[in-house]
Amino acid sequence: MKNLLNLSDLSKDECLKIINSAIDRKINKKQSTEAKDKALAMIFEKSSTRTRISFELAIKQLGGLSIMLDKDHLHLGKRETLADTASTLSQYADIIMMRSNNHSTLENLAKHSSVPIINGLSDLSHPCQTLATLMTIMEVKGTLENINISWFGPISNVAHSLIDAVNMNLGINLSIYCPKYYQDIYFKKLKDMKKEISLDKVIIKEFELDKINPTDVVYTDTWFSMGDIEDSTKIEMLTKYTVNQDLMSKVNSDCMFMHCLPANRSQEVSSEVIDGSQSYVWQEAQNRLHVQKELLLNFL
C-alpha cells in the first residue's frame, strides 16, 4: 500500500501521469464512475476551503462518497489513541485524507492505517497544492522543462514541496528569496523533524530587487500560517518580499504569478498583482479539483 505524505512519495513518472491525466480529463470533460462505492474519509485539524471542496467534489464526481470528520468531533489522540482511530477508520473508508497541524500525526496515521493516507496539508509539506501548481504551469507554458520558479517569503510547506519537485527532476528550477531568519527556522524544523532534503539544485538567498534570477513563475504564500500570531517585527522584515507591481516589472511580461491561497492582500501580495493579467491563482485553485481526482484514482 502506498501513501502520499510528501510529493517525494511519488516517482517522476507517477507525478507526470497525474498531471497529464488531470489536464486531459479537464479538457475533455471526461466523466467517470471509477470510484463507485468507494468512500473517502476527510479529517480536518485546520479549517479549509479549497482542500475540502476539491476533495469532496472529486470523489463525488468519480462516483464515490465522502465523510468529513472535524477534530472536535473525534477522539483523535484524546480518549483514543491515533493508532486505534486509524484502525477503525480503515474499516469504513477506502482512503483517508488528513489536513494536519503536525506532519508527525500524518506519519503515525499512515503507520497504523490499512488504507492509503493523503496529506491534505501539514506543517511540513503540501503535495496536493504543488501538483495543482505544476499542472497550471504545464497548461500555460506547455512544459515543465527549464521553467524557473522564484519563491518570495518564508519557506512554507508549499515551498518545501516545490523543493521535492525539483529533486524529482521534473525540469523546473527553483530560487527561494527568503530572509535569513526564516531560512534558519526552516532548517531547524527539518532538524527537529529529523528530515533530510537535498538543496543542491535549489538557490536560497535574501532578496535584492535588482538581482532577481530569470523567472517564469513568481510564487508566494501567506507570511503567517493559520493560528500564528502576526508580529510587527516580522512584518517589517518581510515587507520587501511583498509581490507588487515593482517586483513584477522586473520579470518577463509572460511571467506567471501564483499563490496557494488564501491570500493576505495587505502583506505578501498586492491586489494589483493578484487581480492582474499575470495572475493564475484562480486557475491554480480550480486545478485542485482535477488533480485530486487523479490522486484518488491513483491511490484507490
Query: Could you say which DSSP state residue 247 is in?
Result: H
Best CA proximity match to 264, nearest among 234, 286, 290: 234
Cell of 24: 486531459
Asked about 129 being catalytic, the answer comes back as: yes
Kind and range of the H or E run holding 257: strand 256-259
DSSP letter string, 93-135? -SEEEEE-S-HHHHHHHHHH-SS-EEEEE-SS--HHHHHHHHH
Asked about 288 being catalytic, the answer comes back as: yes
> How far is residue 52's CA from residue 50's CA, in Å, rounded to a whole number?
6
One of 126, 160, 259, 290 is an active-site residue; which one? 126
Asked about 126 being catalytic, the answer comes back as: yes
> How far is residue 160's CA from residue 138's CA, in Å, rounded to a whole number?
20
One of 15, 178, 260, 278 is an active-site residue; which one? 260
Cell of 58: 472529486
Distance between first and last Cα of the chain:
10
Residue 79, class by beta-carbon neighbours within 10 Å (0-12 exposed, 13-18 middle, 19+ buried)? exposed
One of 221, 259, 267, 278 is an active-site residue; which one? 221
As beta bridge partners, residue 40 has 66, 95
Cβ 251 vs Cβ 218: under 8 Å:
yes
HSE, CB side, 13 Å, CA atoms: give it for residue 280: 22
One of 99, 103, 160, 259 is an active-site residue; which one? 99
Asked about 112 being catalytic, the answer comes back as: no
Asked about 260 being catalytic, the answer comes back as: yes
As beta bridge partners, residue 149 has 174, 217
Active site residues per annotation: 99, 126, 129, 221, 260, 288
